[in-house]
Structure 1
Amino acid sequence: MSNYIRPQIPGATVFFSVCIRAQGSDLLLREIHLLRSAVSRTLRERPVTVNAWVVLPDHMHCIWTMPPGDHDYSTRWRIIKARFSHGLPKGPLRASDLKRKERGIWNRRFWEHHIRGKTDFDAHMEHCWMDPVRHGLVQKPEHWEFTSFAKLKRATA
């Protein structure tokens, strides 16, 4: 089994990709209110600065800046995933899910990348902004409503 060692840099800005196990599902959009609730409750308890967030049908990307002295984004993701999962009806589980006391909804891991400067930050912001277009969900990124950019646009309108 792989042993993942994640950097522990307090106050870091980090890009994340988090996926559900059922590729091609629209679960995250169907249950967007549950996801938003899990995220907002968790980030109220364990704040971060959310620089960007985009939710697609079966995965999401976001950029967080951790508070000074704090590097524990893994716990935040564990809590978000658990809260979301517990709000859904139970479905069939694999033996490995039962053993780990999981619901079988999320991929076990998430991908993270520590941002290394303004160019890197801008590239990952662009990734969040354009991902709905890349996946053929909309023709223009501003037409995608499941993003922090849409919230910003509404606030400035």
Structure 2
Amino acid sequence: MTDGPGLATFNHAVEESIDMIGMDAVFHALAHDARRTMLQRLALGELTVGELAEPLTMSLAAASKHVKVLERAGLIRRTVDGRRHVCRLQPASLASALAWFRFYDRHWNERLDALEVLFRTDASSADPAADADASSADAIPADPISADPISVEEH
């Protein structure tokens, strides 16, 4: 199985699977507010785990667990200098998640643009007299509360 077109397809599927696993880890890491806060602070420069934990209402052990999640996702890199664990932002891991968002952003913008064209085409081809009758029957009163035939006392 070292040659042939099937192998290339298999390898491509494996590569996509590995990329999806990495992207899943990134989304998992971004799912918690404390980890997002840590990433925002690391964007300004490197910090120790203790410094990351300081403004958050959590123990050093809890902060360390959050740092491990960020590390597994490849969003930060931690180096040990004696007893100090220094963290640095590694934003390259966000690339696959950003590409995923961009794909769906384009996809939904195209679909919504097509829907808008459909509505405009439908509206311009409709009978104006029928539209006038329908719009007057469906008109929303200026003050829908005062136009309500049921009074508050009846409830």
Which structure has the higher relative contact order (CA within 8 Å, separation 6+)?
1
Bin of the TM-score, shorter chain as denominator length: under 0.3
The structure richer in helix per residue is 2
Compare CA radii of gyration and give the structure with the larger one: 2
TM-score, structure 1 normalization: 0.24
TM-score, structure 2 normalization: 0.24
The structure richer in strand per residue is 1
